Amino acid sequence: MNMIEKIRLPSPHPRIHLFLVSYMSSGYLVKGYMAIPQWGKQLPGLLYLRGGIKSVGMVRIQRVIQWAAEGMVVIAPFYRGNKGGQGQEDFCGNDREDAFSAFDLMKSLPQVDPDSLHILGFSRGGVMALLTAIERPETNSVICWNGVTDMVLTYEERIKLRRMMKRVIGGTPNKYPKRYAWRTPLLSVSKIRAHVLLIHGEQDEHVSIEHAYRLEKACKASGVTVSSWYYPTFSHHFPMKEQRKILSSAAAWMKERVHHSMGRQ
């Protein structure tokens, strides 16, 4: 276990304990939230990977509690350099290690069923989720929710993000193609052993549906089990009522993947 500190926080749910945790990742102290339902001896574990960068897209307690209320132990890292953490976030570069270490921490918790390990990434977190699933083959399922899968496509589509991406990644895709390829899990899909679920709004103005289409095509070409839930009228942030229903359905989908995964190599 690589956890350094666990501080109890007020929880909006009476039967879910909420903590601010500090853990080590490649020599850096990283912080995040952990939510543990107070029922069941061992529950599925969920690594929740946020989108955005720095304060934009920061983990929301409400979202962590929503997943925990579905009967899952949740760990949601802020990534290095955020909210008192050490180091510097670098947009799916070395900060991917923060996701890997958080997965290992989740797996080590006595409240987590080691045969039921899941990952969900939203937006930029989609890259982090897929990279983690590649590095941790014991993952049962990975959900990419309105997730980025191709970093070059993001650079091309998000004109307002180009300055940040050039600064953090160190240049443009044309000048440094290897740096962008390293941040594009789409190119290594064949290494994924988990079941993949794509949830995407077809009107997404921040991460186009093309990201999901490309990942789905790559999964099918590589023999990776993939399902897709596409929503023709939804954008990057789903309507609250529908989002809650889809979240519950996604949690049920993840739990089912455990049974379907038994006996897989």
Question: Annotated active-site positions, please?
Answer: 123, 236
Q: Please name which of 92, 112, 93 lies closest in space to residue 3, comparing C-alpha atoms.
A: 112
90-to-97, 127, 193 alpha-carbon distances in Å: 11, 13, 26
CA separation for the pair 110, 106 (Å, rounded): 9
Using DSSP, state whether 217 is helix, strand or coil.
helix
Whats the size of the chain, residue-wise?
265
Rg (CA), the chain: 17
**Are 255 and 44 spatial neighbours (Cβ–Cβ below 8 Å)?**
yes
Number of Cβ within 10 Å of residue 56's Cβ equals 11
**Are 187 and 181 spatial neighbours (Cβ–Cβ below 8 Å)?**
yes
Measured in whole angstroms, the distance separating CA 202 from the mean position of its chain's CA atoms is 20
Task: Identify the bridge partners of residue 142 per DSSP, sorted by sequence position.
Answer: 119, 196
